[in-house]
Amino acid sequence: MARQLRKPLPCAQCNARCCRYMALKVATPQTEDDYEDMRWYLLHQGVRALVDPEGIWYLSFDNPCERIGKDGKCLQYENRPQICRDYPRKDDPCESTGTLFVHTFHTPEELDAWLRQEQATVSP
């Protein structure tokens, strides 16, 4: 019987980027108050605002999984949560092959610069 070769996990290529933060979907900012809230979030250590290619916004918290080893491998791979087992989904890119987000904001200043640029492209 021929031995089936397993496709290697890409985690070693990127040191398990997806296991080093959590991202929660948030409402897309629309008003100045919404952007003011976003600025406040960005003043906190380890918080980023992310925007995916579809324009969906997320708040990201840099907080690694407690089960990730120094080598980037899961220490309890066989008992990992379902969300980990399902990632990446068929249509979703894996972070080892690139980025999932078109915009990443680390500071209120980065967000403000992006807003100015967006307003400049909309204004005549």
- pLDDT tens for residues 1-33? 455 545 555 666 777 888 889 999 999 999 999
Domain layout of the chain by residue ranges = 11-122
What was the pLDDT predicted at 114? 97
What's the average model confidence in pLDDT over 59-85?
Answer: 89
3-class secondary structure per residue, the chain: CCCCCCCCCCHHHHCCHHHCCEEEEECCCCCHHHHHHHHHHHCCCCEEEEECCCCCEEEEECCCCCCECCCCCECCHHHCCHHHHHCCCCCCCCHHHCCCCCEEECCHHHHHHHHHHHHHHHCC
Rounded to an integer, the average pLDDT of 28-54 is: 96
Q: What is the pLDDT of residues 86-122, one digit of tens each?
A: 877 777 677 767 678 999 999 999 999 999 998 888 7
Q: What is the mean pLDDT of residues 74-87?
A: 87
φ, ψ at 75 (rounded to 5°) = -75, -15
